[in-house]
Amino acid sequence: MMRACLDRRKQGATPMRVMIKAALLVGVAAALGACGAQPAAAPAQPTAAAAAAPAAPAAGGVAQWSVSDLKQQIEQDKDLFVLDVRTPEEYTGDKHIAGSHLIPLDQLEQRLAEVPMDRQVACVCRSGNRSGQACALLAAKGYTKLANMQGGMKAWLDAGYAATN
């Protein structure tokens, strides 16, 4: 028995071994061939105007603005209504955007008359969560010109933008 095994080893490659090696070589060649494929074309760069414009409204009609988008809108749109929905303690203690209007989220539904329907309303909070909820509430009440500042006042202050007590 032992001798039969040694005889097979001396024979070298069996048909099964040849097929396995060939399959491996074909697989490796195919994989290496894919590595040499031309890279996909880079996406077109946005124009300066498109890059400067705030993000368009999402499906729910609420635009998602970065802090730089909001800063730009404050500078360009003197009619912009910045709604801060944090608590009074956060508003005064943690600083706020000059000219913003404080209506805490838990009071917003009772104080809707203070929020103009005919102006762009940008909602702000500490991190972007409550302002998103405020935008959803306002949208449900018929407001259409809404923006949520992503990242909230934390991101605003981290960007080094001016804020007041």
Which residue of the set 5, 123, 125, 135 is catalytic?
125
Is 35 tagged catalytic?
Answer: no
Between the alpha carbon of residue 54 and those of residues 57, 70, 77, the distances in Å are: 9, 8, 12
131-135 long-range contacts, Cβ below 8 Å, gap at least 24?
Answer: 131/83, 131/85, 132/62, 133/85, 133/105, 134/83, 134/85, 134/105, 134/108, 135/60, 135/62
Count CB atoms within 10 A of the CB of residue 112: 15
Query: What residues are annotated to the active site?
Result: 125
